[in-house]
């Protein structure tokens, strides 16, 4: 999806109420002493880092086949373009695999679960969705820039699956800190994050490969995130 179509579609007003973050550490690794992974060139044809799905994975992904995952949330528009490549075939684009995406809202809440920063969202399904990659290996989603919650750097959850539902990879994507700082200075977000990418329990040993390929745009027109995920198909 191009930016013009994206910005024409919908979109999204910024929230205005700022909530005080609660102390949670969801999605944080329990063991911070695990061995460091070797540094791998992010452009090499190697499988992307496997990360935890966290405590809030999608419960009903087959019912959430949709490109627009915003739901009733507000925030800075974000177009997510995920390209999937096959490391068993010289990293050519993979057509016809499933991409599941989920992330928190501008205030740090996940849908489908209770015990969130702002209460119970078990009956809601915002900011979750599934798409199938095209011939170019890309699946796209219309969303908002995610917020943050204590103990984690801003991040996006991803799972790549075969059409039969078997998982190929669960991973997470980090955001450039300068972009996050700009977004979080706008109304509707909770201000600057409390955990840097380098200090995040998921990204500490593989940040160069978890970082989004690019996040381009501005707070007026929205951003486009581009990321390449490599799996052994």
pLDDT digits (tens, 9 = 90+) for 47-71: 999 999 999 999 999 999 999 999 9
| Residue 41: pLDDT over 90 | no
Residue 179 in tokens: 């972009």
Q: Which pLDDT belongs to residue 68?
A: 98
The phi, psi pair for 166, rounded to 5°, reads -75, 135
pTM, 2 dp: 0.85
Close Cβ partners of 41 (under 8 Å, ≥ 6 residues apart): none
- Helix residue ranges, H only, the chain: 3-8, 177-184, 207-210
Residues in the chain: 233
User: Contact at 8 Å (CB) between 230 and 82?
Assistant: no
Chain center to CA of 214: 13
How many other C-beta atoms lie within 10 A of the C-beta of residue 232?
11
Q: Which pLDDT belongs to residue 24?
A: 38
Strand order in the sheet with 155-161: 128-132, 98-102, 155-161, 167-174
How many other C-beta atoms lie within 10 A of the C-beta of residue 130?
23
| Domain ranges for the chain | 3-10+47-231
Residue 164 in tokens: 């039969």
CA distances from 190 to 6, 94, 108, 155, 182 (A): 25, 37, 8, 15, 12
- Distance, CA of 104 to CA of 55 (rounded, Å): 12
Q: Which pLDDT belongs to residue 190?
A: 96
| pLDDT tens string 109-158 | 999 999 999 999 999 999 999 999 999 999 999 999 999 999 999 999 99
SS3 176: coil
3-10+47-231 carries CATH number 2.60.130.10: yes
């Amino acid at each position: 999806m191009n930016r013009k179509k994206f910005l024409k579609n919908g979109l999204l007003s910024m929230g205005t109420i700022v909530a005080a973050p609660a102390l949670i550490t969801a999605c944080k690794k329990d063991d911070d002493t695990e061995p460091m992974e070797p540094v791998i060139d992010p452009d090499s044809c190697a499988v992307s880092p496997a990360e935890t799905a966290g405590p809030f994975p999608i419960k009903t992904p087959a019912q959430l086949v949709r490109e627009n995952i915003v739901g009733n949330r507000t925030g800075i528009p974000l177009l997510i373009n995920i390209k999937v490549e096959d490391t068993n075939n010289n990293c050519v684009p993979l057509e016809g695999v499933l991409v599941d995406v989920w992330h928190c809202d501008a205030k740090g809440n996940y849908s489908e679960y209770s015990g969130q920063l702002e209460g119970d969202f078990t009956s809601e399904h915002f900011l979750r969705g599934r798409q199938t990659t095209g011939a170019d290996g890309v699946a796209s989603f219309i969303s908002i820039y995610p917020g943050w919650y204590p103990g984690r750097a801003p991040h996006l959850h991803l799972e790549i699956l075969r059409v039969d539902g078997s998982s190929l990879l669960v991973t997470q994507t980090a955001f450039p800190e300068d972009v996050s700082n700009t977004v979080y200075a706008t109304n509707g977000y909770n201000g600057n994050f409390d955990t840097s990418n380098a200090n995040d329990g998921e990204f500490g040993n593989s940040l160069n490969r978890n970082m989004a390929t690019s996040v381009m745009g501005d707070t007026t027109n929205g951003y486009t995130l581009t990321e390449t995920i490599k799996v052994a198909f």
